[in-house]
């Protein structure tokens, strides 16, 4: 999939990074939607969002106002001039959204996980000229995210964007949905022409970390931000804890620093080049050292095979983690980084050792065979 998409073709008044999408988690009442939208209009947002059909984890929660609320969004367009976007999860949602001239559609995280459902949406989008934003699936699976984008693209939708809203996990975390930044970074490497939007609201699940996550996303050169807002967040029927008032949104936006992708200051550029050359050299050494380490691991595999010793000795692993952490922390690396790094190195080491042991076993089997 080789394409370039830009918000400039979306008819959402986009002039500069970041594109700002805001509005309530869910459209609840005519008053809530209109009051919030009018206040947001003053903050200069590009696109007004509101959930019309809400995918809720448990039944009995507020599930959205459906078609009635589409009429409210038509009023938002008419009274503020703001373009509007809603989540669609079924072909019928698409049909209704288009009937009410919704400007942009988005596919939610719980839909992206299901290729059957995404394909149904793709089929319903054939021949339609509407921009579509695809949220990441709830689970940290890049291929599923890319697959959903491909299905929509193949249906002829070329105005596309991805929304990063974080990934759910069973363990407790400071995040509602862990960002796992390496996944959107890899998405960007695989699909460089695809605009990337961050949804800090669903990553954080609260309002106090929103600025930090928004700034982090901008520093990774995201193209847009989707932030939930409500004229009275504490009364919201869904996601009350993570919604900002329009004034709070304005404050957050005013604090963001949009850094440039590069600079035309020749001196700064040459200094950067120089530092990057140094990084390239260090990386080369890292790869050489890792290859050496794995070579030794294979020798150990051979030795363990010949002496019938098990691959994993938990005490040895324990000792590696302890000593490497001590030495790493002394050198200003974090404990978490050392643990993650060595978990990866150790996994590869064990793999290399077992491969070697398999080889030894096969060789032994062959020589026995040839002796008979």
To which H or E segment does residue 22 belong? strand 19-23
Q: Which is nearer to Mn ion, 163 or 253 (CB)?
A: 163
Residue 202 is a binding residue for ligand PEP (CB under 6 A)? yes
Residue 93 is a binding residue for ligand PEP (CB under 6 A)? no
Contact region for Mn ion (CB under 5 A) — 8-16, 20-28, 182-190, 218-226? Answer: 20-28
Contact residue for ligand PEP among 1, 6, 55, 182 (CB under 6 A): 55
Site for Mn ion in 22-51 (CB under 5 A): 25
Task: Give the CA distances from residue 5 to residues 14, 48, 104, 221, 360, in Å, rounded to whole numbers and listed in that order.
Answer: 13, 20, 14, 15, 53
266 burial via Cβ count (<10 Å: 0-12, 13-18, 19+): exposed
C-alpha atoms less than 13 angstroms from C-alpha of 327 in its C-beta half-sphere: 7
Contact residue for ligand PEP among 51, 179, 184, 200 (CB under 6 A): 51
Residue 25 is a binding residue for ligand PEP (CB under 6 A)? yes
Residue 200 is a binding residue for ligand PEP (CB under 6 A)? no
Please list the residues that pair with 22 across neighbouring strands: 48, 227
# of chain residues touching ligand PEP (CB under 6 A): 9
Contact residue for Mn ion among 203, 239, 353, 357 (CB under 5 A): 239
Q: Which is nearer to ligand PEP, 242 or 353 (CB)?
A: 242
Q: Are 162 and 149 in contact (CB under 8 A)?
A: yes
d(CA 294, CA 95): 57
Q: How far is the CB of 8 from ligand PEP (least distance, A)?
A: 24
Residue 135 is a binding residue for ligand PEP (CB under 6 A)? yes
Site for ligand PEP in 160-179 (CB under 6 A): 165
Please list the residues that pair with 163 across neighbouring strands: 135, 197
C-alpha atoms less than 13 angstroms from C-alpha of 306 in its C-beta half-sphere: 6
Q: Give the residue closest to ligand PEP by C-beta.
A: 108
d(CA 103, CA 325): 52
Contact residue for ligand PEP among 18, 108, 200, 246 (CB under 6 A): 108
- Three-state DSSP at 194 gives coil
The residue ranges that bind ligand PEP (CB under 6 A) are 25, 51, 55, 108-110, 135, 165, 202
């Amino acid at each position: 999939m080789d394409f370039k998409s830009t918000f400039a073709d979306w008819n959402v008044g986009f002039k500069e990074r970041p594109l700002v999408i805001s509005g309530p988690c869910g459209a609840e009442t005519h008053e809530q939607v209109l009051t919030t939208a009018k206040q947001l209009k003053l903050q200069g947002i590009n696109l007004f969002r509101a959930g019309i059909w809400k995918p809720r984890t448990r039944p009995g929660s507020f599930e959205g106002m459906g078609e009635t609320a589409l009429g409210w969004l038509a009023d938002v367009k008419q009274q503020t001039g703001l373009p509007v976007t809603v989540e669609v999860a079924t072909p019928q949602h698409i049909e209704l959204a288009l009937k009410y001239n919704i400007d942009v559609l988005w596919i939610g995280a719980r839909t992206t996980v299901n290729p059957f459902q995404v394909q149904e949406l793709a089929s319903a989008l054939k021949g339609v000229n509407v921009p579509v934003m695809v949220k990441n699936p709830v689970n940290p699976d890049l291929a599923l995210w890319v697959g959903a984008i491909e299905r929509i693209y193949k249906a002829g939708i070329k105005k596309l964007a991805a929304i990063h809203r974080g990934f759910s996990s069973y363990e407790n975390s400071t995040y509602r949905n862990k960002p796992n930044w390496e996944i959107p970074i890899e998405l960007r490497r695989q699909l460089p022409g695809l605009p990337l939007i961050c949804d800090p609201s669903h990553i954080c699940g609260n309002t106090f970390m929103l600025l930090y996550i928004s700034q982090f996303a901008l520093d990774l050169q995201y193209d847009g931000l989707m932030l939930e807002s409500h004229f009275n967040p504490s009364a919201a029927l869904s996601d009350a804890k993570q919604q900002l008032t329009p004034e709070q949104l304005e404050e957050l936006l005013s604090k963001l620093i949009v850094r440039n992708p590069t600079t035309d200051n020749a001196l700064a550029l040459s200094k950067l080049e120089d530092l990057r050359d140094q990084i390239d050299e260090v990386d080369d050494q890292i790869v050489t050292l890792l290859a050496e380490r794995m070579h030794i691991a294979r020798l150990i595999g051979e030795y363990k095979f010949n002496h019938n010793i098990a691959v994993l000795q938990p005490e040895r692993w324990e000792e590696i983690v302890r000593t490497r952490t001590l030495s790493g922390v002394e050198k200003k690396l974090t404990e978490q980084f050392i643990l993650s790094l060595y978990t990866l190195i150790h996994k590869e080491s064990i793999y290399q050792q077992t491969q070697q042991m398999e080889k030894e076993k096969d060789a032994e089997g062959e020589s026995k065979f040839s002796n008979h």
